[in-house]
């Protein structure tokens, strides 16, 4: 299971696959683990018996990476960030449903995508340069939202307001 982008609470659950009921034997993870610190990992089910030489690593055993990962987990728990991602994700989705030009809205938690009509291809640049709001994209006209799990309702409202301004 590839949880490199969707893991560590992005979807409102620790792993995105938890919504499906699938129980993978391997889970790859990375981005959310270090909150910007470069780190990656793999979880291997106990049914897969290890053997000498099974896993190799170039940077394995990096203590600084380990400390960064532990700090991320502590903050996630202390600030209840999984619940925040689930709640604000639902709020964003509800707000975006009411925006006329938003098409094919999809996602869970704070991992959201939606399409815009072709004539609104400049929205991403306008959000960035006029409103100082960074969003991702997938060509030709998909907006990708992957905000911090510590996002606030006030920040969501600023985004929704700016988006509506750019989609008259």
Q: Which segment of 11-20, 24-33, 51-60 scores lowest on mean pLDDT?
A: 51-60
For tokens 């938003």, the residue is 102
Q: Which segment of 58-62, 134-138, 149-153 scores lowest on mean pLDDT?
A: 58-62
Q: Are residues 160 and 89 in the same domain?
A: yes
120-133 burial code (b ≥16 CB/10 A, e <16): beebbebbeeeeeb
Q: How far apart are the first and last CA of the chain?
A: 40
> What pLDDT was estimated at residue 137?
92
Q: In angstroms, what is the C-alpha Rg of the chain? A: 18
For tokens 């999809």, the residue is 106
Beta strands in the chain (DSSP E): 26-29, 41-44, 103-108, 111-115, 136-138, 142-145
How large is the greatest C-alpha to C-alpha distance in the chain, in angstroms? 62
pLDDT at 166 over 80: yes
Domain finish residue from 47, 78, 109:
78
> What pLDDT was estimated at residue 51?
86
Q: Are residues 94 and 29 in the same domain?
A: no
Number of domains composing the chain: 2
Q: Are residues 162 and 85 in the same domain?
A: yes
Mean pLDDT along residues 12-33: 95
- Please state, for a pLDDT cut of 90, what percent of the chain lies above it: 88
| Mean pLDDT (the chain, rounded) | 94
Interatomic CA distance for residues 148 and 167, integer angstroms: 24
**Mean pLDDT highest for which of 44-48, 89-93, 119-123?**
89-93
Helix axes 81-97, 63-78, angle to 10 degrees: 60
> What pLDDT was estimated at residue 59?
74
pLDDT at 58 over 90: no
Task: Establish if 55 belongs to a structural domain.
Answer: yes
> Residue 52: pLDDT band by 50, 70, 90 thresholds?
confident
Q: Are residues 143 and 156 in the same domain?
A: yes
- Give residue 5's Cα distance to chain centre: 6
Mean pLDDT along residues 104-131: 96
pLDDT at 130 over 90: yes
Task: Establish if 10 belongs to a structural domain.
Answer: no
- The DSSP call for residue 43 is E
Mean pLDDT along residues 98-127: 96
Q: Are residues 102 and 88 in the same domain?
A: yes
Domain that holds residue 133: 81-166
H or E segment and range at residue 63 = helix 63-78
Q: Are residues 95 and 26 in the same domain?
A: no
Mean pLDDT along residues 115-131: 95
Task: Establish if 9 belongs to a structural domain.
Answer: no
Interatomic CA distance for residues 141 and 127, integer angstroms: 14
* Residue 145 near residue 137, CB atoms below 8 Å: no
Q: Are residues 71 and 93 in the same domain?
A: no
């Amino acid at each position: 299971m590839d949880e490199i982008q969707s893991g560590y609470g992005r979807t409102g659950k620790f792993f995105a696959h938890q919504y499906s009921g699938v129980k993978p034997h391997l889970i790859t993870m990375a981005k959310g683990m270090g909150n910007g610190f470069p780190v990656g990992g793999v979880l291997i089910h106990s049914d897969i018996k290890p053997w000498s030489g099974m896993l190799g690593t170039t940077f394995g055993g990096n203590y600084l990476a380990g400390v960064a990962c532990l700090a991320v987990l502590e903050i996630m728990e202390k600030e209840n960030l999984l619940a925040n991602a689930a709640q604000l994700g639902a709020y964003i989705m509800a707000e975006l449903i009411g925006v006329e030009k938003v098409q094919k809205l999809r996602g869970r938690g704070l991992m959201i995508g939606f399409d815009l009509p072709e004539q609104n291809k400049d929205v991403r640049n306008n959000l960035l340069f006029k409103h100082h709001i960074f969003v991702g994209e997938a060509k030709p006209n998909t907006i990708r939202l992957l905000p911090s799990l510590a996002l606030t309702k006030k920040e969501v409202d600023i985004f929704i307001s700016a988006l509506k301004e750019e989609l008259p």
